[in-house]
Amino acid sequence: MGTEVDAFLRRLARQFRPQVNQSVDMMVQRLHSEFPELLQDKDLAALSAQETTGHVTTFLDVLEHGLDVTEVKAPSDSLEVGRRFAQGGIPISTLLRSYRLGHMTLLQLMQREAARLTSDSKLVNEATVKLVETAFAYVDRGSEEVVAAYQEERDRRLQRRLILTNEASRRIGTTLDTARTAQELADLGTEDFADLVTVDLLDSVLHEEGTYPPTDTPVLCRIAQRSVLDGCPDSAVATGHTHTYPAGSEPARALATGQALLHRVTASGLPAWWAPAPDSGRTLRGPGFHSMLLVPLRARGETLGLAQFSRHRTAALFDDDDLLLAQEIVARAAVSIDNARRYTHERSTALTLQRSLLPQRAVEQSAVDTASRYLPTGSRAGVGGDWYDVIPLSGARVALVVGDVVGRGLHASATMGRLRTAVRAFADIDLMPDELLTHLDDVVIRLQREEARDEGEISATCLYAVYDPVSHLCSLASAGHVLPAVATPPTADGDAPASHAVAFPEMPIGPPLGLGGLPFETTQLELPEGSLLALYTDGLLESRVRDVDTARTVLSDILARAPKSLDETCDGLLAALLPSRPSDDVALLLARTRALDPDHVATLDLPSDPAAVSGARAYASDRLAAWGLEELGFTTELVVSELVTNAIRYGKSPIQLRMILQSTLTCEVFDAGSTAPHLRRARTFDEGGRGLLLVAQFTERWGTRHSRDGKVIWAEQAIPA
């Protein structure tokens, strides 16, 4: 009977071959009805039909030729179907069920054909048993190969995703630049994952208006995108342009809920929200999209924008595993973008604060010509606390200041502003450089006590210099700050070009501000007219590519050949000493000294005798006549009379009157006493007490400055136009 059954099965196989195509169509229809997800990928559906044909043909060969099932290889199309199932994220259980369903359908069709070929029910039954036995052996053998192909592709996909995740951690967030970080996400996403990646940020996030919950139609800005097609013709929005998504659309819903979405394009075409705006002037070109991932950019509980991954060239549809992978990559990018956004905001705020605290324009004074530069650091550390200042003082003098607060960011900038204000306040009372730094040291110590511990230790360095154009003396003191460079006026040596003699003055450097209990010392230098004084912070000289001594040599060479323009000298120093992105903040202040015309300075020594007051008035009147300022005679004689009278009455010898003519007229009276005068309210019948009140009313400003030899009371008047 066995031989008869085998012969019948061979006959059955031959009779069934003409019906293969019709049978395959029936099998495919049943597969699609049971597994509709196969229809979503047209290529997979077509491949499944080819694979089914291959299986039917191979199985008929086994029956007709009596082949050993264990030696039969599965059709190549079936292995490819297994790989495509893995690529599409279709579970392996679905693959095996479809495999068995297809073979069960084939058995049913062949049983019908067997019943048509013979009326011998016993033969049909025995043939059916043999047919089922052979079919199961074939299914077991074929499914082993298909499952192996599926698992191999699955492992490859998992490995690829692991590689993609590792690449994301390595390549996304390499800088603290928002747009570049977004572009890094787009670039990575189009490498063996998506065909088009777009990154939109909420317009409110870009403009630092806060990260409020998105509205129904939030305004977004396309800050990055990348396509497998050159020029992104498949994108509806150009980079840098703003746009909105309609209320209720899937992107708007993803933004509102913060939940990622997997969208598959139906046969009706692209959704309306994907089409370009009518006024955008863009027309989509390229293959049709079949699936998209909409992943909100969320960091620290806030929604920053939306990343979209789309496929049109890649045949496989996005699946849930792809959505999880995209969420992981986007989450990394969102944190990096938020870090970049916060850093940019803080850096911009600190830089704006710092620049607002630095001198905005050249200060009107006649002692020196100045030029300055401030360059923020190019590193991620943030803006530092470097500053400089030019402060006019009494007696035609000027104070030059440069300082550096330790630290970075807003805290350093705010501390710099407080110290700059303190320096100006101390300069206004005409303290000597060492005394000013001592008081500034106390201010820093007080700030340390007031600050919270988590803010870090406050420390700073400062160089304070006072130049007097009358005596040509420059008094300097340093609190841990780098020494200035001094270039004396050029001298002509035969036919050699004129050059400055550059030196770094030997002077004691005191401790940085904030240590307390240690002294500061003042050094005096005599600077000829036209001397060049360079004050700077350590960022100008410190570099990773050269040592400090080499940098000082470069600095000296440039100052030695300095042109007349101080601005050109500043630019030359920065170009020669600094890289394009300095690792530290740099403050640079150049000052070229002037000398006051001796004819504009008048000095008179006075005895400590009330009778000398009239002589002082007469001397002042004569000097005004010589300067052509007779109209200031009444006020000047009043001021001189009151100041000299106070010095004789309350001060000590020697007493000296000095008049200085520059942009203003200054009257100074020196005496060896230490008692400072002050305004007071005179009673109705008091005979005195109104002198300084009159001086304050008739002059622009007045004040007192102390020195180790005594004090000077001064008053300034404006020169008539």
Sequence-separated (6 or more) residues with CB below 8 Å from residue 433: 464, 465, 466, 475, 476, 477, 520, 522
Instruction: State the pLDDT at residue 26.
Output: 83
**Helix H or strand E segment including 230:** none
Distance CA 219, CA 239 (A): 14
Residue 103 has φ and ψ, to the nearest 5°, of: -70, -35
The owner of tokens 């293969």 is: 20
Instruction: State the pLDDT at residue 533.
Output: 95
CATH code matching the domain that covers 358-593, chosen among 1.10.569.10, 3.30.390.50, 3.30.70.1140, 3.60.40.10: 3.60.40.10
The two domains 2-167 and 358-593 share their CATH topology (first three levels equal): no
* Domain definitions of the chain by residue range: 2-167, 178-345, 358-593, 598-718
Instruction: Please state which CATH number belongs to domain 2-167.
Output: 1.10.490
C-beta neighbour count of 208 within 10 angstroms: 13
Distance CA 524, CA 444 (A): 26
Residues forming a β-bridge with 391: 399
> What would be the CATH architecture of the domain defined by 598-718?
2-Layer Sandwich (3.30)
List the one residue out of 477, 595, 591 whose CA is nearest residue 528.
595
Instruction: State the pLDDT at residue 92.
Output: 78
Instruction: State the pLDDT at residue 280.
Output: 57
**Helix H or strand E segment including 23:** helix 20-34
Convert the pLDDT of each residue in 410-455 to its tens digit.
778 788 888 999 999 999 888 899 999 999 999 999 988 887 655 5
Instruction: State the pLDDT at residue 705.
Output: 86
Q: What is the mean pLDDT of each run of 10 residues along the chain (721 residues)?
A: 76 84 82 71 74 80 80 78 75 78 81 83 84 80 79 79 84 86 92 91 75 67 90 81 88 91 76 67 64 92 92 82 90 90 74 66 81 76 76 92 84 84 91 93 90 71 95 94 91 58 91 89 93 92 81 91 90 85 83 91 92 92 92 92 89 92 91 74 47 83 86 90 77
Is residue 289 classed as helix, strand or coil in its secondary structure?
Answer: coil
Residues forming a β-bridge with 368: 593
Q: Which fold has domain 178-345?
A: Beta-Lactamase (3.30.450)
325 close to 164: Cβ distance less than 8 angstroms: yes
Distance CA 409, CA 345 (A): 11
Residue ranges of alpha helices (H) inside 481-611 are: 548-560, 566-577
Convert the pLDDT of each residue in 248-282 to its tens digit.
889 999 999 999 999 888 765 677 777 766 665 55
